[in-house]
Amino acid sequence: MKKMLFLLILASIVSCKKDNSQKPSLLVGNWSFISESAYQNGNIVSTDYFTTSFLTLHADNTGSLTANGTSSLLTYTVDNNTITFYITNSTGHSTITGTIKTLTSSELEINRSGASGQTLDDIYTNISH
């Protein structure tokens, strides 16, 4: 009886665990990098708009990034709302970590730290449709 009660409690704990399985599947696709806004002390200091930057993410946690005519291969991990990109190109390796602020089937917004204490908001739109 005690063993059965323990198993029932364990099963209820496991079933209550937050399901993050949908997040990686929403990330899969082709994303157009729309804009990057920089904030300093909570105030917007600049916004850059992009027309030729693209991010492609695959279900196997690989992908590519194309910006200013340069392509890079990448892998990525997602842990709760934290996404980390491991980027490799002809100039070397870099790592970018950010917080997923918005993720829908059509929009991705990543908040990350920039240079000189700035906070950056990167906005992408899904062009896979």
| Cα–Cα distances in angstroms (integers) from residue 59 to residues 8, 13, 16, 26, 76, in the given order | 34, 28, 25, 9, 10
CATH number of 20-126: 2.40.128.280
Q: pLDDT digits over 48-58, tens only?
A: 998 889 999 99
Question: What's the pTM value of the predicted model, to 2 decimals?
Answer: 0.77
Nearest CA among 100, 70, 72 for reference residue 86: 72
Mean pLDDT of 7-35: 62
Domain ranges of the chain: 20-126
